[in-house]
Chain A
């Protein structure tokens, strides 16, 4: 009887060790780096200096703004576009598999590779996008070399990268809805778009929620494409919190700033994880 109690713990132990070593310990250490101050007059050598510097720093609030707008626009547009494309592909009869392959093809490309390709396409001088514009008689655009539009184009790249993810999951979900449900809706004279809004999507609520949560977290974590295309520039116009944290730590050797930004990210992540974890766990079959 005793082995029965110990067995699940034995299975859990490796994971616990892993989490302690790679999550708990680094997080505690990050906290101490962020608040460490050897000149502090407090009892312990900690102070809020870095915190105060950071929240007084306009550039940091710029980073927060960039992160927020990238996350918001990219998440909402990919999600809505994903639903729209899944609906359209579900409607048509001819050419389904061709469209399916094209629409998920960005998923099959390494993000770094697609980032580099976008970067060459954005080149104002010899990039193909400007050449197309010029061919049709328009002026060339500065794309990611202009501070006012760079973040917009990074968002577009992110949308390009992640819409296939949303689309694929939602399309697969639509196919799991029993045919008779949808047929009876159409017999009742409901048009297909209303059927999508009032019948199909509510039935897929759990799936949509999971897709949205994951998409949101990935948008928040966007690193590869910014790193490859603009590295946070021009100026600070595409510098998100994560890019800033990376560069302060690894180019300017200020681990305390990296850690403090990390703590902001951490608090945000904890809030999201608690919420997301409960939501995902609430599904009956998981």
Chain B
């Protein structure tokens, strides 16, 4: 009994200490976003101050911020739809058919997740330049597909393998075409899996700094790039507005993480947890 209590005490101690560590930067960011410019750089930093919504109003009134948010949204939309359209059929083929080289291709796709973008970025820029899609939605979206295709394929594969095959066989006997079976039987049943990979893919695209920085610059400025360039100058850093903009920009992710937490766990573990 005695051991039992020290055990609980130890757990609370560890949890409280690490909670402070994990929450401190986020709390600080929240506090900063409600301060006026003078309070953000006050020495010593102010914990108590008169809160203002000025920063948020400024950010929300800023057209560039909205343009950049629109860029992020369009890029995420195009790349996620394209990755689903390319990845799910292949995941289905992996789960349902046996053909030569399928595991090799599957491993190859896994390597897109692991390969840092910097390895292929220079040829990509040259090719995109030649095709005139540098600094366009299409260009950035194609590159973003690299971030998410591996997860789409591997998670959907694990998911589809666990679905019963009976319905599909019944439909095949009834004379439905293979494409029709995928469209009207497999996709509706696989919806939880699709939600998972869509959410994850969206996160990857929304958070990406590297491809936006290298393949977009003037016409396409996704939020991460906008935040790093707009609010951090050589001379002045507008800390309050930066924090407010950061919180607004990160809002969709907060929503996804809160609403789809269990789906994300399933996706991130590549189906090892069901």
Residues of A bordering B, CB below 8 Å: 3, 5, 7-9, 11-12, 14-16, 18-19, 22-23, 25-27, 29-30, 33, 81, 84-85, 87-89, 91-92, 99, 102-114, 116-118, 120-121, 125-128, 131, 134-135, 160, 163-165, 168-169, 172-173, 176, 191-193, 206-207, 210-211, 214, 217, 220-221, 223-224, 227-228, 242, 245-246, 249-250, 255, 258-259, 261-263, 265-266, 269-270, 272-274, 276-278, 280-281, 283, 285-286
- For chain B, the bracket of interface size reads 35 or more
Interface contact A26-B123, CB-CB below 8 Å: yes
- Nearest Cβ distance between residue A79 and chain B, in whole angstroms? 14
Interface contact A11-B118, CB-CB below 8 Å: no
- The answer to whether B127 has its CB under 8 Å from any CB of chain A is yes
Tell me, in angstroms, the Cα distance from A22 to B124 when the chains sit together. Answer: 7
Please give, as numbers and ranges, the residues of chain B lying within 8 Å of A249 by CB-CB distance. 118, 121-122
Interface contact B109-A242, CB-CB below 8 Å: no
Tell me, in angstroms, the Cα distance from A81 to B214 when the chains sit together. Answer: 34
- Nearest Cβ distance between residue A155 and chain B, in whole angstroms? 14
Stretch in B14-22, B51-59, B187-195 touching the partner: B14-22
- The answer to whether B227 has its CB under 8 Å from any CB of chain A is yes
Interface contact A281-B22, CB-CB below 8 Å: no
Interface contact B249-A113, CB-CB below 8 Å: yes
Interface contact B210-A110, CB-CB below 8 Å: no
Interface contact B250-A23, CB-CB below 8 Å: no
Interface contact A265-B110, CB-CB below 8 Å: no
Provide the main secondary structure of the chain A interface.
helix
Tell me, in angstroms, the Cα distance from A214 to B110 when the chains sit together. Answer: 11
Which residue of chain A lies nearest to B254 when distances are taken between CB atoms in the complex?
A108
Interface contact A112-B227, CB-CB below 8 Å: yes
A-contact 0/1 string along B89-109, CB 8 Å cutoff: 110110011010011011111
B112, B214, B246: the one contacting A110 at CB < 8 Å is: B246
Tell me, in angstroms, the Cα distance from A165 to B97 when the chains sit together. Answer: 33
Please give, as numbers and ranges, the residues of chain B lying within 8 Å of A270 by CB-CB distance. 111
A-contact 0/1 string along B156-192, CB 8 Å cutoff: 0110011000000000000000100000000000000
Tell me, in angstroms, the Cα distance from A263 to B256 when the chains sit together. Answer: 36
Interface contact A84-B14, CB-CB below 8 Å: yes
Please give, as numbers and ranges, the residues of chain A lying within 8 Å of B261 by CB-CB distance. 104, 168
Interface contact B92-A11, CB-CB below 8 Å: yes
Interface contact A3-B178, CB-CB below 8 Å: yes
| A25-B123, A258-B118 known; A116+B227 contact, CB < 8 A | yes
Of residues 130 through 149 on chain B, the ones whose CB sits less than 8 Å from some CB of chain A are 142-143, 145-146, 149
- The answer to whether B81 has its CB under 8 Å from any CB of chain A is no
Please give, as numbers and ranges, the residues of chain B lying within 8 Å of A106 by CB-CB distance. 22, 25-26
Provide the main secondary structure of the chain B interface.
helix
- Nearest Cβ distance between residue B237 and chain A, in whole angstroms? 7
- The answer to whether B216 has its CB under 8 Å from any CB of chain A is no
A11, A120, A242: the one contacting B116 at CB < 8 Å is: A242
- Nearest Cβ distance between residue B35 and chain A, in whole angstroms? 12
Tell me, in angstroms, the Cα distance from A8 to B93 when the chains sit together. Answer: 5
Please give, as numbers and ranges, the residues of chain B lying within 8 Å of A285 by CB-CB distance. 158, 161-162, 271
Please give, as numbers and ranges, the residues of chain A lying within 8 Å of B10 by CB-CB distance. 88
| A11-B92, A18-B145 known; A110+B272 contact, CB < 8 A | no
Please give, as numbers and ranges, the residues of chain B lying within 8 Å of A99 by CB-CB distance. 15, 19
Interface contact B18-A7, CB-CB below 8 Å: no
A134, A191, A207: the one contacting B3 at CB < 8 Å is: A191
- The answer to whether B221 has its CB under 8 Å from any CB of chain A is no
Which residue of chain A lies nearest to B44 when distances are taken between CB atoms in the complex?
A131
- Name 14 extra pairs, CB < 8 A, besides A12-B93, A23-B111: A7-B97, A11-B89, A19-B108, A26-B127, A99-B15, A102-B22, A104-B261, A112-B224, A114-B25, A117-B243, A242-B116, A276-B110, A285-B162, A286-B270
